[in-house]
Amino acid sequence: MGKLNYINRKIDGLRLGQVVNKDLTKRIPPHTSSKAAIRDPVIELDVSGKDLTDEGFLEVASALVGAITYDGDQGRVARLEELCLRSNQLTIASLQALAPVIQVSCSDLRDLDISDNQIAISSDADVAIWEDFLTSFRTCCVLRRIDLSGNALGDRAFEVMLRVYAKEEPLNFASPSDLVEAHHEEQSSTTEFVGVTRKTKKLSLGSNSGDNTGDEGHHKRKVSKQESTSPEKTSLPALPVGPLLIHTTTRGLRSVPYFILRDTTMTDICALHLSYIIAHHHKPNQLLTRVPPAKAGPHAQQLIEYDTQSQCQGIIYLPNATLGNSGLKVLELADTIRDMPLDGTAEEDAEGLHTPRKSSTIPRRASAPLVSSSKRRQSLMSAEDILQAEKAVSAHNVNNLDRARSRIQGDALQEAGPLSNDLWRVALRVLCLGRDIQVQEKKEPPPVPKAKAPVIKTLSVPGPRLKPLTPKPSMPLTSERDANKPVVPWGKFSQKSSSSPQTLTICPTSSQQVTFGGRERLPPVDPRNIRTQAPVHTANPSRAVSLSAKNKIYRTRLPCGFSEGVWRRIIGLAAGAEGIMSEDQQRSMLSWAMNRKTLSKESEILGLTLASQIWRVLEGTGCLTYDMDG
């Protein structure tokens, strides 16, 4: 009952979608077909070539989600393993309904075929739907193949594919060598623990022998019987029966062995984005060991056909009539980088036991038991020469790949401009905003604040200078003086000039002002409120300024007093960098924008074309392509 094939049905379109919906709904209790569905919940749905359109597939998708998510008391009624939607006139809108189906069947889905449809990504809304669709594969762990061939995807589709691929968690394989190493580590740690336990028991027996000397023989015989049956007396400790707990991560687009991208109107820019995926994608013979084997039939034959193509292993991008020579060269170089083995064991590589960039086999060649010392030395030298030659070839291919990518990037900036790439557009927007908020040099201490005006009024009294007050004035101005006595006239003060000028400070006692002859005069002066302010002398003025600057806590002199991290967050939200630029790329671009020394670097390239200048800035900040994790 698991295989639902509607190829031979005479109906098609929306009507067929309603029929499929009805058949899937019957699997849910209390319908009559629910018992058979519980016994065999596996579904292999094939509705290829029936022109479902978006409306018909919406009926199919809603029924699939309902049947897969149903989990009654007796178990599940639907486990979707294969879904074939080839040649059904589906557009980008159908992918919005297909994403929930992939999410709910992430642990069961093994094959997805949506080839020969009308899926194209052009607008921003299409990009959002396409990104959600690709993100839905993040939890898929047994997916064997994704067939997207025959769809005019476009340049932005491949850029979004690279973006989603780069943000996924890198694969973590537990190879057999890792299992053996973990086995030896656990065995050695257990042996050490047993040795410590034996020493502890001997010490405890020796301390008790002095107390009970009469029962020593009987006590020893008793202990020997107990120790003979204990597992600690054995020479080798018993290993656990279950598998070793070694964390492995094989899910998402990175774990899919086969990507089929034939006839997708691939251009050189598409090939540029795809080259980064190919360089990081593992070979099928490594990924298939973690996926259930395909059943005998057309699907198994198709996988064998994929393996026969030597130019593209796992990621099938040929034929593509619109692919230029530059794009084809980039893809071939990326494939050679992935194929470059650092280990010399082709047999182990074929069995998928090691990753392509794993340990070398030089020690194995050097430890041959039947080789003399001279021959062993020659084999070591030859192995080292081979390794050096492989490294030289690999470095040469990497340099060629970088040059080929740079050529395509320069052509794209020259012809389409930076707005054709989401990463370039957002990165330059971050650069402009970073230059706007940069005011002064970073980590520069703030200037010393100016002295504020005192609360009391300080007035300079015209006329003769005042005699400096002595410690024992003739008329002490203290609180014990009678306030009713008259104030000494101004003329009674000494007419002699003082070496240090004095300032008379008057605290008004009333808000009223006295006027004489239409001119404003001071209010009456209370002698108790008169005091002189002597000038403050500083031995070292620069030291006082430095101490005040040193004791003051300051941050970077950015607007609003925000730190650089806060401004990075604000600019990232304003420029739309969230989800496009990584944190390292945002930090690098803001550092470039806030550093005045980069202006001199930019002035050196003013003679180049605008595309070359933009390429230099993006290359210097690491924003030419998306950051690849792992």
Does 39 lie in the same domain as 112? yes
How confident is the model at residue 259, as a pLDDT? Answer: 94
Continuous H helices in 255-372: 268-280, 284-287, 298-308, 325-339, 346-350, 362-366
Does 303 lie in the same domain as 353? no
CB 175 within 8 A of CB 181: no
**In this structure, are strands 258-260 and 315-316 parallel, antiparallel, or unpaired?**
parallel
Name the token pair of 44: 């292999």
**324 phi/psi in degrees, rounded to 5:** -85, 180
Does 439 lie in the same domain as 408? no
How confident is the model at residue 424, as a pLDDT? Answer: 96
**In this structure, are strands 503-505 and 458-459 parallel, antiparallel, or unpaired?**
antiparallel
What is the pTM (predicted TM-score) of this model?
A: 0.67
Of 104, 169, 95, 165, the C-alpha closest to 132 is: 95
Q: What is the DSSP letter of 45?
A: E
**Please, what are the averages of pLDDT over each run of 10 residues along the chain (630 residues)?**
82 92 89 81 92 95 93 85 95 96 94 96 95 96 95 96 93 61 57 51 45 42 42 39 51 93 95 95 88 84 82 88 95 84 40 34 35 47 69 84 95 95 95 77 58 62 59 52 56 46 46 48 52 47 49 58 84 93 93 86 88 94 88
Does 382 lie in the same domain as 351? yes
Instruction: For the beta carbon of residue 65, count every other beta carbon within 10 angstroms.
Output: 19
How confident is the model at residue 562, as a pLDDT? Answer: 78
Q: What is the DSSP letter of 7?
A: T
In sequence order, what are the residues at sequence separation of 6 or more whose Cβ sits closer than 8 angstroms to the Cβ of residue 205?
A: 223
Task: Tell me the C-alpha to C-alpha distance, in Å, between residue 88 and each of 91, 152, 270.
Answer: 9, 15, 25
Q: Number of structural domains, the chain?
A: 3
Angstrom distance (rounded) from CA 588 to CA 235: 58
How confident is the model at residue 174, as a pLDDT? Answer: 61
Does 430 lie in the same domain as 288? no
How confident is the model at residue 447, as a pLDDT? Answer: 62
Angstrom distance (rounded) from CA 191 to CA 198: 11
Residue 254 placed within a domain: yes
Q: Which residue range(s) make up the domain with 605?
A: 422-444+555-620
Residue 509 placed within a domain: no
Does 298 lie in the same domain as 275? yes
Does 402 lie in the same domain as 265? no
Instruction: Provide the sign of the torsion angle of the four alpha carbons 537, 541, 543, 547, taken in this order.
Output: positive
The answer to whether the peptide bond before residue 30 is cis (omega within 30 degrees of 0) is yes
Instruction: For the beta carbon of residue 225, count every other beta carbon within 10 angstroms.
Output: 9
Amino acid at 508: P
Length of the chain: 630
Name the token pair of 546: 């430095």
Max CA separation in the chain (angstroms): 129
Residue 44 placed within a domain: yes
At 373 the three-state DSSP class reads helix
How confident is the model at residue 218, as a pLDDT? Answer: 42
Angstrom distance (rounded) from CA 210 to CA 31: 82
How confident is the model at residue 376, as a pLDDT? Answer: 46
Does 380 lie in the same domain as 316? no
CB 285 within 8 A of CB 173: no
CB 520 within 8 A of CB 513: yes
Residue 243 placed within a domain: no
> How does DSSP assign 144-187, residue by residue?
-EEE-TT----HHHHHHHHHHHHHSPPPB---HHHHHHHHHHHH
Domain-ending residue, one of 276, 306, 332: 332
In sequence order, what are the residues at sequence separation of 6 or more whose Cβ sits closer than 8 angstroms to the Cβ of residue 225?
A: none
Task: Tell me the C-alpha to C-alpha distance, in Å, between residue 478 and each of 140, 472, 503, 531, 615.
Answer: 91, 11, 19, 11, 80
Does 305 lie in the same domain as 258? yes
Helix (H) or strand (E) holding 514: strand 514-516
Find the helix packing angle between 268-280 and 373-415, rounded to 10°.
Answer: 150
Angstrom distance (rounded) from CA 363 to CA 360: 8
Does 406 lie in the same domain as 327? no
Does 274 lie in the same domain as 323? yes
What is the domain-level CATH number for residue 73? 3.80.10.10
Task: Tell me the C-alpha to C-alpha distance, in Å, between residue 171 and each of 230, 286, 357, 500.
Answer: 43, 11, 13, 82
Name the token pair of 104: 């709910």
How confident is the model at residue 448, as a pLDDT? Answer: 67
Residue 479 placed within a domain: no
Residue 74 placed within a domain: yes
Name the token pair of 160: 């979004």
How confident is the model at residue 192, as a pLDDT? Answer: 55
Angstrom distance (rounded) from CA 95 to CA 80: 17
CB 186 within 8 A of CB 246: no
How confident is the model at residue 131, as a pLDDT? Answer: 97
How confident is the model at residue 33, as a pLDDT? Answer: 76
Cα angle 446, 451, 457 (rounded to 5 degrees) comes to 165
* Residue with token string 């650089």: 564
Name the token pair of 576: 């739309």
Estimate to the nearest angstrom the gap between the alpha carbon of 411 and the chain centroid. 29
Residue 220 placed within a domain: no
Does 401 lie in the same domain as 368? yes
CB 166 within 8 A of CB 630: no
Residue 154 placed within a domain: yes
How confident is the model at residue 39, as a pLDDT? Answer: 85
